[in-house]
Each structure stands twice: as C-alpha cells, then as structure tokens.
C-alpha cells in the first residue's frame, strides 16, 4: 500500500548550510533542532568543514551545481515550503542558492553565518556583497547577530538604538523581517517588521552553558515554528526559549566552546516519563505486598527516584503525601510527581552527588531486627548520629554526607537512631525505584 504523504501537521523543512565535523553547528545543529520540534528535516550541504570545539581548521566548498542538485532532489519529491540558510561560503554558492529559492518559491530564513562561535571565518570577504545583493532580496526573515548585522548594514551595532538603525537598513536591502539576536549585546532580541515599520523587543537573560551552534539552532527553530504555522512574534519568542534550553542542556564535548544540545529537553522529558513509570510500578509493588506495611515508619514512608543528572528537588519524583499504613496494607496518600517528598528527594540528591547511579531511595522503619535483615541480605550499611548535627543545616543532607564519608562511598543502607522529636529511620538506596521496592518487600517478608 502506498504510504500517505506527510500532512501539514508534520511539515518538511530544509537547511542549506555547511557541515560541522564536531557535530555542534551547521547541518548537525539544524537537523537535531528540526527533529526536536517535530518537523521533517532535509538538507543541502554547501561546504564540509574540518571543525571542532576549538575552531575551524579547514573548509572544503562543494561545487555550486552540487548544492543546486541537492535542493532540486528534495523539492522535486517533497512539499517544502520553508527553508533556512547557514554557511554559504562563496559568491558562486550564494548565487546558486538564490536562484534555487526563486525557482521553487521557498520562504527563506537567512542566518548570515560569517564566523564560527569557536573561531574561524565561514564566509569569504568578497562574498558578503553577493549575499546582500542576491540573497537578502529573496528572504522572508534575516537573523543576524550584532556583528553580522554590523557587517550587513555598515553601521556599528553596540546597543539597541544602533540595532534599530541596522535593522531598517537590512530591511531596505530586501529582508521582509529582521531579527537581530542579542547574544552579543544584552540577551534581548530585536524584531523588526518592515511592512508595518514596527519593532518588538524579546527580552532574555544570559545563561551558563555551551553556545557553539546557538545561532544555527535559533534560525532552525524559527524556520520550524514558522513552517508549523506560528505567528512571527510567537515563533521568535519560542525559538529564543528553545535556544536557552539548548544552552542549559549542553554537555562537555571537547576542549573549546561546548556545543548547544537541541535535543536536551526532549531527552530530559523522556527520562522524566521513565522515572514516573518506574515509580508507579514500584508503588504498586508496595501496595500489593501483604507484608510491606510492617516496615512503614510512624511518620510514614516514601519512595523516590531522580532523573540522570538531577540537581534539584524538581528533578526527583516521589509520592506526594507519603505512604502510610492502612488496615495492615501500604496506602500511597497522593500521586507520584516531581518536586514532591522533600526528605526522600534530599537523600537521593545527596547520594547521587557521590554516585550518579544511586538514583532511588525508600524510607523504612528502624529497628535492630530490621537492620539485621539488611545485613543478612548482604546490603552495605552506614549510619550517622543526629546528636552531632550542626545548626542551620539540613539533617538529611548532612546525615547522608556523613554516612557516605564514614563508609567511603555510597552504601545501600543509611540509618540513624533518631533524636528528640525525630523518629529513627532506615534509608534503602538503589539504582531505581522498582529495585528498592522489591528489596523492601523481600525484607518485609522475612519479618514474622
């Protein structure tokens, strides 16, 4: 049976740009961004760069006819409406791309790439005038940063008043819309619509993380949102948010400027889903057990699990209102969710600081018999003494750190014997919630 064509809900977009052998910018960043935003990405490679996080080492431009052939192949078969350009190194490539854009009537976003974030020229100086004369007149949106806007307009761009002047000049050169991205000014983007002669400021703040490929990612996101039917202003706002998250989710990849991570948020959402699914199954295991209620402390139990790389309670899932004993069975009071269960969440975060694989914990009732069962099961054990607790510090954070220090690593069991107004507690740690729930049930079954 013939496959159904892709619907407008899943538009096809194209990037016409150079490759980055380091995987951080260019075609690599564009296609990852398209995938993260749910559009089908196609590409026409203009240049092959020998590049890493420290800079561009060498570039190899493709023949203009090779670039045109790629665009022809895509447009002859697929319903492409929106495209974006990135690295167009030579005058000949720019002329060929402009001809193809006119040929197929594509809506174009121009990212006037001139240099790599990590260093290295990506646009020949003699090609700048051709980009202005040939490409700007056929583009819907131009997305220069401050230095690129300065090169295109011929006026300095050090603040937003100068950015306004530059935006109008670039629009006069042909671009319908100009967005001067603010990464080189104060993180505020300036959007200019020539038809209405209006400016819109899109505020932002600088965040820590890798920025290699941020410009490519922004223009690719903008292309994807516009292809999905978003208004210009909403597309610009959402693209900025997307880039911020890509920077925040960046990971070390080399010795230079780390690349953005366009798929970071998508992968984190996947991990959150997996944690919640794991927790729900773990809680069900506890509910079904006829014996687990014997291990529930007077203040109630809780079970939690963190996503990989968790750094706050928002990254740890737990039962919202703890697990209590009801008619000799375990009863969760509330649903599982993130940012719940402060005590179990703090214990998990403290443990993952020392061993990232220890991402789950459950709180159990303390007794010498229960502790003996942990020993008999071969579980490594450490403890802390609440009487030595410093003032104005979290008991859980301090106690877990003390127990880990005594043991020389993260044990499977950390207990304390309580203090005035504080119930003694056993904390069972593990790789995931299902694992610690199963161990807890096995321990409970041995209690007579």
pLDDT of residue 118: 52
Do both 280 and 238 map to the same domain?
Answer: no
Question: pLDDT tens digit string along 114-143?
Answer: 876 555 566 778 889 999 999 999 999 999
pLDDT at residue number 420: 81
Separation CA 107–CA 300 (nearest Å) = 60
Same domain, residue pair 145 and 160? yes
The answer on 243 and 278 residing in a single domain is no
Looking at the fold, whether 181 and 275 belong to one and the same domain comes out as: no
Lowest pLDDT segment from 51-55, 161-165, 208-212, 392-396? 392-396
2, part of any domain: no
Report whether pLDDT(1) > 80.
no
Q: In whole angstroms, how far apart are CA 331 and each of 283, 293, 362, 377, 436?
A: 9, 9, 14, 26, 17
CATH classification of the domain holding 288? 3.40.225.10
The three-class DSSP label of residue 383 is: strand
Does 385 fall in a domain? yes
Tell me the per-residue pLDDT of 336-353, one tens digit each, with 9 for 90 and over: 999 999 999 999 999 999
Q: Is residue 5 part of a domain?
A: no
Host H or E run for residue 193: strand 189-193
Q: Is 377 left (phi over 0), alpha (psi -120 to 50) or beta?
A: alpha
pLDDT digits (tens, 9 = 90+) for 357-375: 999 999 999 999 999 999 9
Position 95 in a domain: yes
pLDDT of residue 36: 97
Res 287 pLDDT > 90: yes
SS3 assignment, position 177: strand
**What's the whole-number mean pLDDT along residues 419-443?**
95
How many Cβ atoms are within 10 Å of 299's Cβ, its own excluded? Answer: 14
DSSP string, 51-108: EETTEEEEEEEPPHHHHHHHHHHHHHHS-EEEEEE----SHHHHHHHHHHHHHHT-EE
Q: Kindly report the CA angle at 144 between 139 and 146, in degrees rounded to 5?
A: 155
At 332 the three-state DSSP class reads strand
Which of 281, 287, 338, 335 shows the shortest CA–CA distance to 311? 338
pLDDT for 126: 81
The reported pTM is: 0.87
Q: What is the pLDDT of residue 64?
A: 97
The pLDDT score that the predictor gives to residue 186 is 86
User: pLDDT tens-digit profile of 381-422?
Assistant: 999 998 877 877 777 889 999 999 999 999 999 999 988 888
Task: Return the pLDDT at 121.
Answer: 64
Question: Residue 426, CB half-sphere, CA atoms under 13 Å: how many?
Answer: 24
Residue 8, pLDDT above cutoff 70: no
d(CA 437, CA 326): 18
259's tokens: 């690349």
User: Which residue carries 């990464």 as its tokens?
Assistant: 183
Round to whole Å and give the CA distance between 250 and 213.
Answer: 11
Please indicate, yes or no, whether residues 246 and 301 belong to a single structural domain of this protein.
Answer: no
- Tell me which residue of 250, 140, 265 sits closest to 195, measured CA to CA: 140
Going by DSSP bridges, is the β-strand pair 12-20/55-61 parallel, antiparallel, or unpaired?
A: unpaired
Measured between alpha carbons, how far is 46 from 49 in angstroms, rounded to an integer?
10
Query: For residues 347 and 258, what is the distance between their CA atoms, to the nearest angstrom?
Result: 31
Task: Give the span between the Cα atoms of 223 and 300, in whole angstroms.
Answer: 51
Number of independent structural domains in the chain = 2
List Cα–Cα distances, 205 to 111, 213, 247, 275, in angstroms. 22, 18, 12, 31
The conformation of residue 281, written as its DSSP 8-state character, comes to H
* 3 state SS of 275: helix
Confidence grade of residue 3 (pLDDT, cut at 50, 70, 90): very low
47 band by pLDDT with thresholds 50, 70 and 90: very high
Q: Is residue 175 one of the residues assigned to a domain?
A: yes
Look at residue 4 and tell me whether its pLDDT is greater than 60: no
242 within domain boundaries: yes
Which of 262, 280, 314 terminates a domain? The answer is 262
- pLDDT, one tens digit per residue, over 143-187 is 999 999 999 999 999 998 999 999 999 999 999 999 999 866 788
In 3D space, the residue among 318, 334, 266, 323 whose CA is nearest the CA of residue 299 turns out to be 323
Residue where a domain stops, chosen among 262, 283, 307: 262
Q: What is the pLDDT of residue 119?
A: 54
Do 48 and 62 form a contact (C-beta atoms < 8 A)?
yes
Q: Which of the listed residues 218, 243, 262 is the one where a domain comes to its end?
A: 262
Q: Is the confidence at residue 7, as pLDDT, over 60?
A: no
Task: Say whether both 357 and 396 belong to one domain.
Answer: yes
Residues 75, 56 share a domain? yes
Domain carrying residue 361:
268-445
In a domain, 6, yes or no: no
pLDDT band, residue 301 (cuts 50/70/90): very high
For residues 316 and 199, state if they share a domain.
Answer: no
On whether both 90 and 114 belong to a single domain, the answer is yes
- On the question of pLDDT at 5 being above 80, the answer is no
309-344 pLDDT, tens digit per residue, is 999 999 999 999 999 999 999 999 999 999 999 999
Query: Is position 311 within any domain?
Result: yes
Q: Is the pLDDT of residue 281 over 50?
A: yes
pLDDT category, 2, cuts 50, 70, 90?
very low
Take residue 13 and report the two structure tokens written for it.
């977009």
**Tokens representing residue 8 in the block:** 């407008």
Lowest mean pLDDT among 110-119, 141-150, 216-225, 256-265: 110-119
In angstroms, rounded to a whole number, what is the distance separating the alpha carbons of residues 112 and 122?
A: 10
Beta strands in 86-217 (DSSP E): 107-110, 141-142, 177-180, 189-193, 198-202
Q: How much is the pLDDT for 319?
A: 97
Taking a C-beta distance cutoff of 8 angstroms, is the pair 71, 100 a contact? yes
User: Considering only 194-198, 209-213, 300-304, 390-394, which range has the smallest mean pLDDT?
Assistant: 390-394
Same domain, 182 and 219: yes
Asked if residue 226 and residue 276 are part of one domain, the reply reads no
d(CA 6, CA 64): 29
193/282 same-domain check: no
Q: What is the CATH number of the domain that holds 125?
A: 3.40.1190.20
């Amino acid at each position: 049976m013939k496959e159904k064509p892709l619907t407008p809900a899943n538009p096809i977009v194209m990037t016409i740009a150079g490759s980055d052998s380091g995987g951080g910018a260019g075609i690599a960043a564009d296609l990852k961004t398209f995938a993260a935003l749910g559009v089908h990405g196609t590409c026409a490679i203009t240049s092959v760069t020998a590049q890493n996080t420290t800079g561009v080492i060498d570039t190899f431009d493709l023949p203009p006819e090779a670039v045109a052939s790629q665009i022809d192949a895509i447009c002859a078969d697929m319903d492409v409406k929106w495209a974006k350009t990135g690295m167009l190194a030579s005058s000949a490539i720019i002329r060929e791309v402009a001809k193809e854009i006119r040929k197929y009537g594509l809506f174009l976003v121009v990212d006037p790439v001139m240099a790599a974030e990590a260093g290295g020229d990506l646009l020949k100086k003699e090609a700048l005038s051709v980009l202005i004369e040939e490409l700007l007149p056929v583009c819907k949106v131009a997305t220069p940063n401050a230095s690129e806007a300065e090169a295109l307009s011929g006026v300095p761009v050090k603040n937003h008043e100068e950015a306004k002047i530059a935006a109008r000049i670039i629009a006069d050169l042909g671009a319908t819309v100009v967005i001067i991205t603010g990464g080189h000014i104060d993180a505020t983007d300036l959007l200019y619509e020539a038809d209405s002669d209006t400016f819109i400021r899109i505020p932002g703040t600088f965040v820590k993380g890798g920025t290699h490929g941020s410009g490519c990612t922004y223009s690719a996101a903008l292309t994807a949102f516009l292809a999905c039917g978003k208004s210009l202003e909403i597309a610009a706002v959402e693209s900025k948010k997307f880039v911020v998250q890509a920077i925040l989710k960046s990971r070390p990849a080399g010795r230079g400027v780390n690349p953005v991570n366009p798929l970071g948020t998508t992968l984190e959402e996947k991990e959150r889903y997996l944690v919640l699914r794991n927790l729900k199954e773990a809680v069900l295991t506890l509910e079904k057990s006829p014996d687990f209620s014997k291990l529930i402390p007077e203040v109630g139990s809780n079970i939690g699990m963190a996503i990989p790389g968790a750094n706050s309670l928002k990254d740890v899932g737990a039962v919202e209102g703890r697990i209590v004993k009801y008619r000799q069975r375990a009863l969760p009071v509330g649903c599982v969710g993130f940012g719940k269960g402060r005590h179990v969440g703090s214990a998990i975060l403290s443990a993952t600081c020392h061993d990232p694989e220890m991402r789950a914990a459950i709180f159990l009732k303390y007794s010498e018999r229960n502790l003996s069962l942990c020993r008999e099961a071969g579980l490594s054990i450490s403890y802390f003494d609440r009487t030595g607790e410093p003032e104005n510090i979290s008991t859980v954070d301090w106690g877990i750190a003390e127990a880990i220090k005594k043991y020389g690593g993260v044990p499977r069991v950390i207990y304390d014997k309580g203090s005035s107004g504080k119930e003694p507690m056993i904390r069972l740690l593990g790789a995931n919630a299902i694992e610690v729930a199963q161990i807890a049930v096995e321990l409970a079954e041995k209690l007579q």
